[in-house]
Amino acid sequence: MKLCRKPLHTLGVMAVALGAVAAAPAHAQQYPTRAVTVLVGFAPGGGGDILTRAYAAELGKALGQTFVVENRAGANGMLAAGALAKAAPDGYSLGMSVPALLTNAMLVPTVPYKLADFQPVGMMAATPMVLVVNPGVQAKSVKEFVALAKAQPGKINYAGAGAASTAQLFMELFNFKTGISTAHIPYKGGAPGMASTVAGETAITWVSTAQGLPLIGAGKLRALAVSTGKRVPSLPDVPTLRESGVPGFVLDVWFGYWAPAATPRPIVDRLNTEMNRIAKSPEMQGRLEKLGVLPLTGSPEDAAAIQKAEIDQWTELFKHVKISAE
């Protein structure tokens, strides 16, 4: 596969922008005085869309104005991100941020935005990813799977959801960190890919906890490890990759809010304060639990740090592994 890359404008630039002292216009103190648009780059009904709508509804209640979610699906989120990059930096245009928007900027030459066009407002939640195998695979741990793969390099297949999908990126990073080689079999989405591993057409894949828990519980998939820095409450007996002897692999699929880079800091701070309050409310925590995701809180700088750490991991991978997003 051909590696497509363009100069990377990292979220370190965002962090610098966040630290700058901006002159707050008078309207920032009364913000918002009209409806706020929140752009989502994917079709309605997905996990990120559901989360964004839930937070938008609560932000509207807290701030006394409607937060309108607008889906601009297409190009793996790039249409909406491109529109957000060109929007007025006045707090009335926000967007859902996801890891794909980072990797798009690293892999797609025609991406219609730079990461420096945005600043993080805050995080909503994160979906832990689980490394799973078909029960027929003779490996009950990461160590055993690595040994199996090293004994037959390139002959074990894994399921992905197409070019530069989460499953492909996570698996290629796993291959790189462990020194193994497995073959990517692309499917037209996460569900078909997972079904292929259940059926034994592929040996291994990555799934979200929400997707995987029912099948793991039914014995149709075997969980080897979780991608997060700590064990997941819903899978307490499944170790992290770090516990499994794979250092430097801490990732999840996070969802947050971005604003155009020059949005006044007082507006960003107000939104961030409300997002943190919403995340801690019993009602939102109940919703997040049902979705199988973990709440995230913190400052805009905390969000920028999470995203910068992820960029660093992908940058290291893309130096060694050729991946195309097209």
- Note whether residue 104 is domain-resident: yes
What is the arithmetic mean of pLDDT over 44-48? Answer: 88
| Percent of the chain residues topping a pLDDT of 90 | 79
Query: 159 and 67 share a domain?
Result: no
pLDDT at 141 over 80: yes
Structure confidence by residue, pLDDT tens digits, 73-105: 989 899 999 999 999 999 999 999 999 999 999
pLDDT at position 23, please? 45
pLDDT at position 71, please? 96
- Note whether residue 235 is domain-resident: no
pLDDT at position 324, please? 82
Query: Mean pLDDT, the chain, as a whole number?
Result: 91
pLDDT at position 90, please? 97
- Note whether residue 243 is domain-resident: no
Neighbouring CB atoms inside 10 A of 64's CB total: 8
pLDDT bin (cut points 50, 70, 90) of residue 27 is low
pLDDT at 264 over 90: yes
Query: 142 and 116 share a domain?
Result: no
pLDDT at position 291, please? 84
pLDDT at 22 over 70: no
Phi and psi based region of residue 64 (left: phi greater than 0; alpha: psi -120 to 50; beta: remaining): left
Structure confidence by residue, pLDDT tens digits, 145-200: 999 999 999 999 999 987 888 999 999 999 999 999 999 999 988 889 999 999 99
Q: What letter does residue 158 receive in the DSSP assignment?
A: E
Alpha-helical (H) ranges within the chain are 11-19, 26-30, 47-63, 78-86, 99-107, 142-151, 166-178, 190-199, 209-217, 265-280, 282-291, 300-320
Number of folded domains that form the chain: 2
User: Which residue range(s) make up the domain with 113?
Assistant: 11-127+253-320
Query: 213 and 269 share a domain?
Result: no
User: Which CATH number covers residue 202?
Assistant: 3.40.190.10
- Note whether residue 49 is domain-resident: yes
Residue 88, amino acid: A
Query: 74 and 155 share a domain?
Result: no
Query: 183 and 265 share a domain?
Result: no
pLDDT at 20 over 90: no
Residues in the chain: 326
Token pair 């995203």 is found at 307
Per the CB < 8 A criterion, the answer to whether 251 and 313 are in contact is yes
Structure confidence by residue, pLDDT tens digits, 290-317: 888 889 999 999 999 999 999 999 999 9
| Percent of the chain residues topping a pLDDT of 70 | 91
